[in-house]
Structure 1
Amino acid sequence: MAKITFQDNNGKEQTIEISNGLSIMEGAVRAMVPGIDADCGGACSCATCMVYVPDDWRDRLPAKDANEEAMLQFCPHADERSRLSCQINVSDDLDGLRLSLPESQH
């Protein structure tokens, strides 16, 4: 289980615990984190669960696959920090991860 913090554009934070094996998106939806809509339910086909990952965490996450890269190309606020939270599975190694949400998801 990992504690992960989500921060919106106004600086408001919400820290939740997510069980190992769930995606970050699944945990965020269950905890009703504002800004994680997950319209496609985790199928990597909508990008409504995009998050920004801090520089010091990017190399600690699994690499983006081709599907995730393709979806991010259509996001207006995507940059090198962007990830789809549906594509990141939780493990103890993610404890303490802090994610920011794009303004477009508020």
Structure 2
Amino acid sequence: MAQISFIDSSGQTRTVGGEDGATVMETAIRNGIPEIEAECGGACACATCHVYVDPAWAEKVGKPQPMEEDMLDFAWEVQPNSRLSCQIKVTPDLDGLIVRTPARQG
């Protein structure tokens, strides 16, 4: 189980365990992480699970696929390290992952 730290827009950190094969979004929802709305339930059809991947983790997480890039156009304050958490699969390699949530979604 990979440990994932979510830092909200006020700076509060919550570290939770993510099951291998789940997504970072599913992990957030299961653990009541604030500022992750996930309105589409992980279908990559909205931008309400937007996160900023910590720069130290960008290479391991990888770049967004074209469909995700299109949906990021609807996200709030997109940055180069923006991702939709529904598109990041939890793996043992992501143990220690740090993501930040924007003050608002979509």
Q: Same fold (TM over 0.5)?
A: yes
- Extract structure 1 runs of 4+ deviating beyond 3 A: none
Give, in whole Å, the separation in 1 of the partners of 2:55 and 2:66. 21
Per-residue deviation, residues 12-69 of structure 1 (Å, max 9, x unmatched): 1111101000001011101110011110000001110000011111111133111100
Q: CA RMSD in A?
A: 0.9
On the 8 A contact 2:76/2:102 being kept in 1, the answer is: no
Where do residues 6-85 of structure 1 align in structure 2 (5 Å cutoff)? 6-85=6-85
**Aligned residues: percent identity?**
46
Name the amino acid aligned to 1:63: K
Gaps of 5+ in 2: none
Q: Report the TM-score when normalising by structure 1.
A: 0.94
Distance 1:36 1:104 in 2: 9
Q: How many residues align?
A: 105
